[in-house]
Amino acid sequence: MSDINTEVHNAFEVIKNGGIILYPTDTVWGIGCDATNEEAIAKIFKLKQRDDSKSMIVLMNGDRMMYNVFKEVPETAWQILDLSEKPTTLILDNPRNVAPNIIAEDKTLGVRLVKEPFCFKLMERMKRPLVSTSANISGMFTPKSFKEISPEIVNGVDYVVNLHHDKICDKPSTIIKLTLDNQVKIIRK
């Protein structure tokens, strides 16, 4: 098993050259790339055979990154994040400084602040948000562990992170949509 700093370095090298990676998150395994790289995002849509009108979420590692992408973050967002006991994805209005093909048609973007060490350190190196979408072909089941990921996905990415291959995770994040006028809608518990 590789060490985290080596994996962060390897993943960063691939991402900065427009590649896509398969990596462990605070929830399920994800396929990711630089959230500002439109071509890399297009590669993920193609690999997942996913309609590009369906958006993907973006991981961030703190308030600074959050305010770089959203000029306004509703106070409710911070309250929800403070109170959440499990990973929570927030869908917020009017993102900026990210690739246009990651923004949903209704001008929203799903984001999750992560503390998971690999993701956190990788974003520290990237200084940018990281795309995260489940490691499956669109419409297929979400793998709960690395060994459940289809060969098509494993072979379709530019780099597979060599950490947590034995971790089982059966819970994707909670998803909450929050509008600037403070309407809250739970999309996935």
Residue 182 has pLDDT above 80, yes or no: no
- Helices then strands, counting H and E runs in the chain, come out as 6, 9
For residue range 46-104, list pLDDT tens digits in order: 999 988 777 789 999 999 999 999 999 998 999 999 998 889 999 999 999 999 999 99
State the average pLDDT over residues 31-36: 98
Q: Could you tell me the CA-to-CA distances from 149 to 48, 106, 142, 163 in Å, in that order?
A: 12, 31, 8, 14
Contacts of 80 (CB under 8 A, 6+ apart): 88, 90, 176, 178, 184
| pLDDT the model gives residue 127 | 96
DSSP 127: T
| pLDDT the model gives residue 181 | 80
State the average pLDDT over residues 25-51: 94
CA distance 107 to 3: 38
For residue range 134-179, list pLDDT tens digits in order: 999 998 988 989 999 999 999 999 999 999 888 887 777 888 898 8
| pLDDT the model gives residue 171 | 76
CA distance 72 to 75: 9
| pLDDT the model gives residue 1 | 53
